[in-house]
A and B are shown apart, each in its own frame.
Chain A
Amino acid sequence: MMAFRYGVILFVFWLLLSGHFEPLLFGLGLASVILTIFLMKRMNVIDHESYPLHLSSRLPAFLAYIFREILNANIDVMKRIMTSSGKSISPRMVEIPLPQKTDLGRAIYANAITLTPGTVSVELTKDKIIVHALTKEAADELFTGNMAKAIPDQAIDK
């Protein structure tokens, strides 16, 4: 059943990318989607991790949050670049807690940290994440844990 849903999504995706509605190409697209789903089923890679559809309802709020963060962080780093020859920085390595339990949640969190300029995730351990922060403010912002709370971390039901 899940394979069928992904097949429909893949086919809509194919249609949007190609823009072809002639019977022959339509049929070929359908055939390639069916072949892909068949191969994926054999490889056993259709699960909630490869297609996290169960998180999509939380996507708009998360995107709004992360874009606001990215914008603020960008403006801050740009100010520091353009004033005082880039000297107004205080780089530091910090260890921040990693509350996410699922691999997907961890990957999203580490990517979100790296996406906001001013912080780059350098190393992940079991429950810590080592971050290089450009400024003390950027590091303190991570310690508040606001970003960790915005990351979805739903258990994968097999």
Chain B
Amino acid sequence: MIIDILSWILLVSGGLVGVVGAVGMHRFPDFYSRQHATGITDTLCAMLILLGLGLQAEMSLAAFKLALIFLFLFITSPTASHVLANAAMHGGLKPKLDGTDGEERS
């Protein structure tokens, strides 16, 4: 029962964090700063939801598989973000920095 409540709290707060990340993606001004907002969904949102699901699975093989998803997500998602940012940089997309207007293609 307590585990159920705890897992629900984790799942719901994970969902809310995901929504905040989505809001941030629309509010932030340019490609690079939007990546920070999606970073929230990649990390804290995924953490909370997987932890909540893990509590539902209790001590089973499913929990172990969830832990593996967690592990792989934490290795692959920053790599994907880095590649995306790197490609944008090499493609000539200028970041909108503090005090400049940027975001024009050179």
Interface on A for B, CB 8 Å cutoff? 16-17, 19, 67, 70-71, 74, 77-78, 80-82, 85-86, 89-93, 110-123, 132, 134, 136
Given contacts A91-B33, A91-B98, A114-B78, contact A74 B40 (CB under 8 A): yes
Give the docked Cα–Cα distance between A119 and B17 (Å). 18
Contacts of A114 in B (CB 8 A): 39, 78-79, 81-82
In contact, A86 and B74 (Cβ under 8 angstroms): no
B24 to chain A, nearest CB (A): 4
Report whether over half of chain B's contact residues are helix, strand or loop; otherwise say mixed. Answer: helix
Give the docked Cα–Cα distance between A86 and B47 (Å). 24
Tell which of A86, A90, A92, A120 touches B39, judged by Cβ atoms closer than 8 Å. A120
Tell which of A70, A89, A92 touches B43, judged by Cβ atoms closer than 8 Å. A70
Tell which of B65, B78, B98 touches A90, judged by Cβ atoms closer than 8 Å. B98
> How many residues of chain B have a CB within 8 Å of chain A?
38
In contact, A118 and B36 (Cβ under 8 angstroms): yes
Q: List 12 A-B contacts (CB under 8 A).
A: A17-B64, A74-B40, A78-B40, A81-B23, A90-B98, A111-B75, A116-B43, A117-B39, A120-B39, A123-B86, A132-B95, A134-B36
Tell which of B61, B65, B97 touches A91, judged by Cβ atoms closer than 8 Å. B97
Instruction: Name the residue on B nearest A75 (C-beta).
Output: B44
Interface residue? B35 (CB, 8 A): yes
CB-CB contacts below 8 Å: B75-91 with A = 75, 77-79, 81-82, 85-86, 89
In contact, A111 and B27 (Cβ under 8 angstroms): no
In contact, B61 and A93 (Cβ under 8 angstroms): no
A19 to chain B, nearest CB (A): 5
In contact, A110 and B82 (Cβ under 8 angstroms): yes
Contacts of B33 in A (CB 8 A): 89, 91, 132, 134
Contacts of A111 in B (CB 8 A): 75, 78-79, 82
In contact, A85 and B85 (Cβ under 8 angstroms): no
In contact, A117 and B82 (Cβ under 8 angstroms): no
Query: Which of B24, B29, B33, B98 gathers the greatest number of chain A CB atoms within 10 Å?
Result: B33
Instruction: Name the residue on B nearest A113 (C-beta).
Output: B78
Contacts of B89 in A (CB 8 A): 122-123
Contacts of A134 in B (CB 8 A): 33, 36
Tell which of B23, B47, B65, B82 touches A82, judged by Cβ atoms closer than 8 Å. B23
Contacts of A71 in B (CB 8 A): 44
